[in-house]
Amino acid sequence: MSTNKKHIVILGAGFAGLQLARRISESDYEITLIDQYNFHQFQPLMYQVATARLEPSSISFPLRKVFQKKKNVHVRLTSVKEVNTNTQQVMTSAGIFTYDYLVIATGCTTNYFGNQDMERFAFPMKSTMESIVLRNRILLNFEEALSADADTLPAIMNIVVVGGGPTGVELSGSLAELKTHVLPKDYPDMDFSKLNVYLLEAGPATLGVMSKASQQKSQQYLEQMGVYVWTGSQVKTYDGKTVILADGRTIPTHTLIWSAGVTGNVPAGISQEKLVRGNRIKVDSCNRLEGSDNVYVIGDISYMENKDFPKGHPQLANVAIAQAKNLAQNFRNLLHGKPLRVFDYRNPGTMATVGKRKAVVDLPFISFQGRLAWYVWMFLHLMLIVSVKNRLFIFINWTISYFTNDTTLRLILMPAAKQSTSKEKTP
């Protein structure tokens, strides 16, 4: 690695970290991109992996493939142990990395709000691996249901989704379509009228951050598809067999999917005084860590207050990408002695899909739902995919699913224990 170039260390290869590394890969910096995975994960479509609509490889892209021709970008597969902003070092399981500039883009992880039972028994969906685990659980449910007795069958056939945000709504709709169009063909000897999908939301409506029209339409779509939508329903606890709500209601289930909240994935070494609600790191208008000149924070983990966003920016891919673009320009400005550019975000809108030809879109000046919203949702998500090849695979899968209401991806892939190949010696 060159010693006369400034060294930028980027922690995290999500939307923010990857976008930044790509945009400064042609600049006069040495860049080290650190992540615990060797691939970028497209989180908005993880629910389609969990419901066997897409292959995991369709929404994942190898980091080293992205930077094959970039000699100044170095990918390191390791976990961060601690950050020391005084010595300008990042301690990892693969060694110590010294930086001139540090960018923290470690994103968020699942927030169980201190409920240890929920953390132990619920299924999260924040990584590709977790999506595969959930897919296995969902598909194994129906294999177990074939031989289940009357007492255990309800818990197997009930699937509970907690959290009525975009992830919860999209996952619930996908499960409903799986129940209606796919599973009866796979299991002709099973009664799928006994399969129930519940969506539990503690707030008064689904998609709480979207317009009233989108909230109402999303719930209407879900209920028409057979999903039981319980708003104003806060989960108290879950023991792996029964969900208990705060109002005393219970639902027997072996599958509870938790999409009710996230918390910042803050690396050790960052002072607690720099953190705000949601475990996010407070930054200035240029995404600098408060009190620092060479540490920047972008993406879901950053918290920036201004007149347009007095409670911080929403934790969305569009925000992460926009912050990365602005920081890339600021790194170029630093090379040429120019002042930093303030981050100014213009919200392009929010959207969520519920099912085939069913989506809701809120743009700054208009809100619409239905078929057109569904096409807009598909197009914009395809454009966010890193690789043209991955876009093509996803488009082909979606096209097949559109015309057949089916996929061929319902594979139960369980990890296998390594078997010993040694043989006992005979005398």
Q: Is 170 a catalytic residue?
A: yes
- Specify the DSSP class assigned to residue 84: E
Distance CA 115, CA 127 (A): 20
Distance CA 387, CA 358 (A): 26
Cα 105 off chain centre by? 14
Question: Nearest-5° angle of CA 295, CA 296, CA 299?
Answer: 150
| CA distance readout (Å), 136 to 50, 147, 348 | 8, 18, 36
Half-sphere exposure of 341 (CA within 13 A, CB side): 15
Which residues 6+ apart lie within 8 Å of 188 measured at CB?
Answer: none
Distance CA 342, CA 327 (A): 9
Single out the residue of 69, 91, 67, 88 nearest to residue 79, CA to CA: 91
- H-helix or E-strand spanning residue 24: none
What amino acid occupies position 78?
A: T
Which of 30, 55, 170, 177 is labelled catalytic? Answer: 170
CA torsion angle 247 248 254 257 (round to 10): 10
What is the CB neighbour count within 10 angstroms for residue 362? 22
| CA distance readout (Å), 278 to 263, 273, 378 | 5, 13, 30
* 292 neighbors 282 (Cβ within 8 angstroms): no
Supply the residues annotated as catalytic.
170
